[in-house]
Structure 1
Amino acid sequence: MGKFAGWESVSANISGPQESPLFPQGYLDAGQIDALKALAASLRNHGAVLADEVGMGKTRIAVALALAVKRSGGRVALVVPPVVAPQWRDEITKAGESSKDVLRSFDGLMREYETDGAARMDDALVILSHRFGDMRAQTSGIRWRADLLKLIVRRLDKKIRNGCQLAHWRMPGVELAAKEILKRAERCQHTETSVETIVHEFRDIDKRSELDDFQSDRFKNHSTELKLLERTLGLALGPFDLVIIDEAHKSRSERGKLSALLDSILFPRGKTCRRLGLTATPVELDVLQWESTLKRVSMSDSKWMSIKPAVLEFREAAEAVRRRWRTDEAAHHRYKAAATNFQESLEAWVVRRDKRRDETIMLFDKHAPNGMNYRQEQPIEVQPEDLSPGWRRIVFAAEALSVIGQAAADTKAARARLTISNGHGVAGIIDKLASQRADNRHPEDHEAERLQAREDCTEDGVEASAELTAEQYGAQKRKQRADWWKNTLTASFTDGTESLYEHPVLLAVVKEIENYTLTGEKVLVFGRFTRPMRVLTDLLNARALLRAVRDGMPWPQEKTSDYDQGVLRAAAKQLEVEYDRKRVDDILTASYKTFETQRQTLRNHILALIESGSTGQPTLLQAIASDKNSSEIVTPLARAAEPLLREEASGTRISREAVVEALTQVFDALRERGDGNAQDDELDGISAKALWAQLRERLIEEYSSPRASFARMLYGQTLSSTRRLVQLAFNRSESEPHVLIAQSMVGREGLNLHESCRVVILLHLEWNPGVVEQQIGRVDRKNSYWSHLLKEAIDAGSQDLPRIEIRPVIFRGTYDEHHWSVLSRRWDEQRSQLHGLIASGADRENLSEEESRLLQSLEEKSPDFWPKPTVQS
């Protein structure tokens, strides 16, 4: 481990001579280079936030900065959500460097000590999961993790006995890590001081003897002893000079695991250690969120208090001018002064590039009609007058039950109006009222219901305690009315899933999706509730299958399954085609031969490559080749690789190189783990042979049977490896899936889904505009499919310019409409705070020349954190 030369050296490396470039030519564009230089200048004095809008290339800027620190002898911790770790490694590779796998857990680091000793202590770039700080050392089965602290204390002060008893089972890596920490302390004064401080504080722990009772609850979250263990773990990673925090807006709580990692575990090398936060949404719902964002990069309390008045005044001034910009001259002056003060307060800490100066956006603005935005926001609306009689009765019943109240109707039924648009709650009510068995439903549906109920209480203020008791209003009569409306809910359907096949929102979304896919477009759908998302996925696949059968087109499925019969009958009714299972199966079997020929060719390729051991993953491939039943995994491997080869395949000819590349991607994806659960910990740092044993199970579990994949769904239970493979396939224009339906918490951040898609449907509305921006940002990124279409249209002289299409789904006349109005208001407020957009949406259209000049003069004074080009002295 070298000595860090300091931040002046980092700046010099960024502006260094061309004969020794820091990164390959073209890796960063001019705006990114300016941002990189501005960050290096800020980091000389304190931390910084890179708050570029979604899709502007923050990761590349951060990687370039990390390389500059490395060249100056420093070490960098890259703290990232685990789902995006492969993309960080890809960017590091494109920059001409390499990095090891992401460290996800305490156990993973200890296993590395077993195999590689203290190698991580010397790595210049270390990628860490956001959840690396989840120690979980409280229960007896994993109390051995506390041995890392106890071994340090025992060896440094042999007089300490109480609290230092070691666990019966110990991971060898823990002892190796403790030895290395003490060895480093002998030659590093900073490490020595830290170790002595930990030992001194250990002596002062109350009732220290309880630490030896492995059945006690000691080492619980936020306890003194756990904090000492966290700091000891930081010594096992070694000191850092720069900590880069991706998605720095996440887990803002001071008591969260990300905060524990940043504030307790990571070991700064002296006072020059800096933090850089990356986030497109430093403010999501309120400008005061600047506080948690800036404190995450080590802004002091006193500094925040000095700039807080400017932040609050800008919020008030921006809101006033947004409402009265056409008429209120006093609001104009107040806004300009507040914007200047706000910018001067934050500009030393914040770099933010918005898309108005992005080359592609400026190209669009140059050729588009005045006032047209490159994003087209067009709701998918469901109107009450278009409902079937059955669904009109359901809407009426839901409204009536909400009026009757919880005391008579029960909580779920009383809140039916809140869930009528997303379908999830109504389906659950129908299930309950029709006495369906609970175990017929997927377990995650129960969790979605719980989250929905909690959210509805928060947003709508529905509280049981606020109601007067049923007895006061005649309990019996109210109960009778409630029962009558409940029966109305179940009159048209036998179960909740059946009801969702005809849900008016899902039918409207299906129609819009198919309008896109029939023209070759891919569609990204975001939802929150798994049950309607699953029904939407099944409906799209069933309709695509029936159309293929009807039109004589091949379909990659040999027979229909028993599970699919209900949705196939519903889809046939919607498409107005006759459904006969035997006839459909016969047609599928006949057409499947075309796919089977291609798949057999692919299986032959894979089998030959396994036998030759040359897929570009030699260590892992040797483990696969030694598999006693290697033929058993050829078919699952082929099914995993097939979507990645759809563009390369031509008839029965598939190039060997393409197969090698696809298999490499499959292997990399299979190595992806989740987000910090016990099973994932077991995969950290294990041998290639043991790794393949785990990957083999995942491969067989996920790909042992064929599936329709015109549409695919990603949700919380989807394996990380599957997410990665689906992401790769979705980014290929000719490969399935053509429709990706992603649960918001799974797909909204980090995933690049922009290479073949420009359409985003918001199936279930969010409350937080920052989340919506993240969702849209999956397709609105640099080098996107949309940007390529735009350049082609301009080169062809077309006046019909493509746009990124955003399609919120709104069920008019229901609670959904209120939800959309709240989101729209918050979204406008966020645009004014982060983008300086005083007018937005329809308010920017059809302006007079005078109004355009006024609006331009005001927005030119909005805060601007775009990095200034460095002036050479």
Structure 2
Amino acid sequence: MTRTDFSWAKVSAALRRRVAEQEQLAWEKGEAAAHLNKGQCASVLALAERIGEHGVVLADEVGMGKTRIAVELIGAVNEAGGRAAIIAPPGLGYQWQDELKRGGVSVPPMLRGLLGYFEAWGAAEASEQTPWFEVPTVLLSHAFANWRLGEGTQRWRRELVPEVFAQWRKATGSRYPNGYLHSGKYDKWVTNTAASIVNALRDNPRQPASAWLSDVTAQHPWPHPEVYTDYGNGSLYRSWLEQTVGIGLGTFDLVVIDEAHKGRGSGGGLSRLLGMLCGAPDCRRLCLTATPVELNVQQWRQTFQRLGLDEAVCDRLQPVIDDFDQAIRHLRIHWRSSDAARHRYETAASAFQTMLRPYLLRRDKREDADVLRFTERTRGESHRNTREPVSVDVQRLALPWRQAVCATEALSVASRLEENATAKRLRLTLANGHGIADLLGQIDEPVEPSASTPDQPLNPLDEKRQQRVQWWLKSAAQAFQSPHHLFEHPAILATISAIEAVHERKEKVLVFGRFTAPMRVLVRLLNAREMLRRLDAGVYWPQSVIRADDTDDHSEWAAVQVAHRQLQSPLDLAAIPELLARQYNSQGSRREQLRRRLLEWLDAGLGEHEQVPRAMFGCLRDAELNKDLADAAEKHPVALFTRAILDLTGDPAGSPTPEQVCAAFRQLLEAASDRYADDSDVAQDEVAVQWEPLLARLQDEYAHQEGGFARLMYGGTEQSTRRLLQMAFNRSDSFPRVLVAQSAVGREGLNLHLACRTVILMHPEWNPGVVEQQIGRVDRVGSHWSRQLDEELERDVPAAELPRIDVHPVIFRGTYDEYNWQVLLERWDDLRAQLHGEVIPAREAEGDLEYEKVLANLQASAPCFSPLRR
């Protein structure tokens, strides 16, 4: 815990030198050779000016490279002798490690919980231990502090506080507290951790942690681990545990908070984690978020509080924020007719920019080089196409579905929530398919009387109304009489049509949804339809069996039956399982050829300097020696890697080259290993420990013979599988061609842009900030769209034919779904007014030159926080 002579002046100097090196590299070898682009360099220089005074919110739009800017700051802090903590969502640990590695910053694997915390002190020899407080940069999960420590929790999870307190008393008072020596055996890792923390504090007695430990141990009885077991949220002992764990992490000069808009409440896990970390007296925070505000302007205060600003500073900012918000709302009503309204907005915008500018940096897509080229060629058009929704028109539906829509609308009028929740819920879920199966079982249930007493008869009017409700419920149910009703859902069918249209031009599709059941049905139906097409055309399909579950109306076999009917497939339905098995087995010789060549190609193609790949190859070779390869089942490691490599190279029936095999092997290791690195000092025993978990992850993903044209990523998807899916989706030739992601899982941080430029919003959100995050998965620096744009500009194609980022919401017209979309559009306008300066949507003046000039002047008056336009 000994600190060197750190200063923010040294950090600023290091940042300026780094930018100069990048600019020199770009001048000598071209901008593509530099690690930072022009806008990122400008942001780094702006940080150099401000970070010594206070923290900064880096609020660049999604996909502009905020992580790379943060890595430069972290590297400069380490170079100046300081320590940095990075707090990121749990699913983004490997992406952060990749960016840090590219930026020359060394960091251990993401710290996710108490077990990983104690592992730092788990080495048998003290000389092998590297305490957390000696690590220059620590990467923590947002959920690190979400410990479940109830009465029945394992003892080792609550031993740290009594052990640290006991050793501190022994070190400062020459004796252990009463009862300690008879309190049982402590976990060795916990004991090592406590001893390390106490010894470090004794070497630096002036630290605030030393005074805190002395005060607590003097004022409170020693917390016997068998007596004081309540470490739940809000308890005294939980706060002691959080404080003690924070002491073990050490003192930080910089705290970087990725996705800083998450968990805004003071009682959330992220807020508790921030309170746990020990900051130096001049500690600074860097908040990374594309959406510092999402729903209302009051969230500005929450953002600046997370930055660590004093309440007095927040109090000075608040009136300016409120005045700007009021000026926007007034302008939206009178922007055409009132000079006073426009003047008021311009004045409020200027004050807003002046007051927030020291704490806020934001670049938006309009400054991106590719977007600039696009808008210049199209004379100001947006590079995003959001004007082509996947629309479901009630008038064009089959009669049963039209009856269902009419019935649910009638239910919304006739029913009362306290009398029949089913009726109300049906209206909300009809458009997205969520819960329809559960609701069907409730439709025939009798309606309970709502009278105040059981013996009191119903009012005749209420009785008639309840009879009408029951009649409308039964009418709605007529559309769902088919056992496979979700496969026939109009919104799902419309989504499939949109996806298959994109697939025809050989591009991938990213679909976002909220509800698992319709998302799973979408995936199964897409796979069934593609399988039937390929079997009919004689094209190989990587699947040998179809799973059927008689208890599941939406099983894989049920999807095949429905797809067969929808496509009017000429194939004999009963013969499909045999046809699948025969075509899969016919490719066995090609798979066998690669199996037998795999080890030879890897041995020749992997470099001697590639320590981890070579070590993993050694484990794979040992596995082959332990079992006859000719008799290997699909789960044998060599067969497993063969299947995975064939999937990744994009042609399971083809013959990849040795170079492709080695590249796919490296990518598999990187995606499926928690601790993949090219470090030359990696220990062989550590690789051996990683081998079995690696095989288990690959087995979960690749051992089954199932087509993966479309894949589902939802809350139950393992982290390792998510990484493998991300890697495969970013490869243009491999499955999956369609990734259906649950919004909460795939909307933030994930890079899904290397082979996709189309986003379909199957279940549009209420929060525009969430939608921006979703679109940002494919609208990023170095995206598939930007590469296509380069190609089309070189070919000098007409502006109308240039590629765009296509965003298609699925809207079920005439239902609650349409109202949801209208609310989202209004909130989206509010978000653009706050963050993009688009206080009046351009569509309101389209075609009117006079009003277009008014909007242009308003746009010029909008607050600007870009370091490129200061």
| Shorter-chain TM-score above 0.5 | yes
C-alpha spacing 1:558/1:22, structure 2 compared with 1 (3 Å): same
C-alpha spacing 1:762/1:160, structure 2 compared with 1 (3 Å): same
Residue aligning to 1:820: 821
Contact residue 167 and residue 194 of structure 2 kept, 8 A: no
Residue aligning to 2:472: 485
* Corresponding residue to 2:499 among 501, 509, 513: 513
CA distance in 1, matches of 2:718, 2:459: 52
Contact residue 748 and residue 773 of structure 2 kept, 8 A: yes
What amino acid is aligned across from residue 352 of structure 2 in structure 1? F
Contact residue 357 and residue 865 of structure 2 kept, 8 A: yes
Residue aligning to 2:648: 644
Contact residue 402 and residue 416 of structure 1 kept, 8 A: no
CA distance in 2, matches of 1:698, 1:529: 26
Output aligned runs, 1:446-461, within 5 Å: none
Residue aligning to 1:186: 202
Residue aligning to 1:445: none
Residue aligning to 2:757: 758
C-alpha spacing 1:120/1:643, structure 2 compared with 1 (3 Å): farther
Contact residue 434 and residue 495 of structure 1 kept, 8 A: no
**SS of residue paired to 2:213:** helix
C-alpha spacing 1:404/1:323, structure 2 compared with 1 (3 Å): same
Contact residue 402 and residue 413 of structure 1 kept, 8 A: yes
CA distance in 2, matches of 1:717, 1:78: 26
1:101 aligns with 2:109: yes
CA distance in 2, matches of 1:818, 1:162: 66
TM-score by length of 2: 0.88
**SS of residue paired to 1:54:** coil
Contact residue 758 and residue 785 of structure 1 kept, 8 A: yes
CA distance in 2, matches of 1:418, 1:50: 38
Residue aligning to 2:542: 556
Contact residue 561 and residue 573 of structure 2 kept, 8 A: no
Contact residue 60 and residue 290 of structure 2 kept, 8 A: yes
Q: Which 10-residue stretch deviates more, 688-697 or 613-622?
A: 613-622
Percent identity at matched positions? Answer: 38
Q: Which 10-residue stretch deviates more, 663-672 or 305-314?
A: 663-672
Residue aligning to 1:457: none
Give a deviation string over 1:720-778, Cα, whole Å, max 9, x none.
11111111111111111111100000100011011111110000011100000000000
Residue aligning to 1:440: none
Residue aligning to 2:679: none
Give a deviation string over 1:117-151, Cα, whole Å, max 9, x none.
13433222211111112233443433423322222
Query: How many aligned positions are there?
Result: 820
**SS of residue paired to 1:243:** strand
Contact residue 244 and residue 277 of structure 1 kept, 8 A: yes
CA distance in 2, matches of 1:307, 1:18: 31
1:114 aligns with 2:122: yes
* Corresponding residue to 1:390 among 381, 384, 400: 400
What amino acid is aligned across from residue 557 of structure 2 in structure 1? Q
Give a deviation string over 1:630-652, Cα, whole Å, max 9, x none.
952333333333332227x8942
C-alpha spacing 1:162/1:606, structure 2 compared with 1 (3 Å): farther
CA distance in 1, matches of 2:312, 2:577: 72
Output aligned runs, 1:579-594, within 5 Å: 580-592=572-584
After TM superposition, give the deviation of residue 692 of structure 1 in Å.
3.0
CA distance in 1, matches of 2:591, 2:155: 49
After TM superposition, give the deviation of residue 868 of structure 1 in Å.
5.4
What amino acid is aligned across from residue 245 of structure 1 in structure 2? I
After TM superposition, give the deviation of residue 434 of structure 1 in Å.
7.8
Give a deviation string over 1:441-461, Cα, whole Å, max 9, x none.
xxxxxxxxxxxxxxxxxxxxx
CA distance in 2, matches of 1:200, 1:256: 27
Residue aligning to 2:362: 352
Give a deviation string over 1:322-342, Cα, whole Å, max 9, x none.
333222211111111111111
Output aligned runs, 1:659-738, within 5 Å: 659-672=661-674, 687-738=686-737
Output aligned runs, 1:305-454, within 5 Å: 305-406=315-416, 410-433=420-443
CA distance in 1, matches of 2:533, 2:718: 30
Contact residue 51 and residue 352 of structure 1 kept, 8 A: yes
CA distance in 2, matches of 1:373, 1:658: 34
CA distance in 1, matches of 2:89, 2:459: 53
Unaligned runs of 5+ in 1: 436-463, 674-684
* Corresponding residue to 1:26 among 6, 19, 34: 34
CA distance in 2, matches of 1:588, 1:214: 60
**SS of residue paired to 1:491:** helix
Residue aligning to 1:67: 75
CA distance in 2, matches of 1:576, 1:421: 26
CA distance in 1, matches of 2:539, 2:169: 77
Q: Which 10-residue stretch deviates more, 832-841 or 364-373?
A: 364-373
* Corresponding residue to 2:240 among 210, 216, 228: 228
CA distance in 1, matches of 2:319, 2:457: 49
Stretches (4+) displaced over 6 A = 17-24, 609-615
Contact residue 22 and residue 64 of structure 1 kept, 8 A: no
CA distance in 1, matches of 2:7, 2:717: 44
C-alpha spacing 1:556/1:332, structure 2 compared with 1 (3 Å): same
Contact residue 49 and residue 349 of structure 1 kept, 8 A: yes
Give a deviation string over 1:516-552, Cα, whole Å, max 9, x none.
1011121110000000001111111111111112223
Contact residue 523 and residue 740 of structure 1 kept, 8 A: yes
CA distance in 2, matches of 1:465, 1:797: 74
**SS of residue paired to 1:746:** helix
Q: Which 10-residue stretch deviates more, 702-711 or 358-367?
A: 702-711
After TM superposition, give the deviation of residue 293 of structure 1 in Å.
1.0
What amino acid is aligned across from residue 749 of structure 1 in structure 2? E
Output aligned runs, 1:234-273, within 5 Å: 234-264=246-276, 266-268=277-279, 270-273=280-283
**SS of residue paired to 1:281:** coil
C-alpha spacing 1:842/1:260, structure 2 compared with 1 (3 Å): same
Contact residue 750 and residue 777 of structure 2 kept, 8 A: yes
After TM superposition, give the deviation of residue 813 of structure 1 in Å.
0.7
Larger relative contact order (CA 8 Å, sep ≥ 6): 1
After TM superposition, give the deviation of residue 823 of structure 1 in Å.
0.6
After TM superposition, give the deviation of residue 585 of structure 1 in Å.
3.4
After TM superposition, give the deviation of residue 234 of structure 1 in Å.
1.6
After TM superposition, give the deviation of residue 844 of structure 1 in Å.
4.9
Residue aligning to 1:654: 657
C-alpha spacing 1:164/1:51, structure 2 compared with 1 (3 Å): farther
Contact residue 729 and residue 752 of structure 2 kept, 8 A: yes
What amino acid is aligned across from residue 767 of structure 1 in structure 2? W
Aligned-residue RMSD, C-alpha: 3.0
CA distance in 1, matches of 2:444, 2:620: 51
Output aligned runs, 1:750-829, within 5 Å: 750-799=749-798, 800-829=801-830
Give a deviation string over 1:21-72, Cα, whole Å, max 9, x none.
7998611112111111212222111111100000000000000111111111
**SS of residue paired to 2:17:** coil
CA distance in 2, matches of 1:255, 1:21: 42
CA distance in 2, matches of 1:21, 1:507: 50
CA distance in 2, matches of 1:166, 1:502: 68
What amino acid is aligned across from residue 776 of structure 1 in structure 2? I
Residue aligning to 2:613: 617
What amino acid is aligned across from residue 17 of structure 2 in structure 1? G
Contact residue 765 and residue 771 of structure 2 kept, 8 A: yes
After TM superposition, give the deviation of residue 372 of structure 1 in Å.
4.5
TM-score by length of 1: 0.88
What amino acid is aligned across from residue 652 of structure 1 in structure 2? S
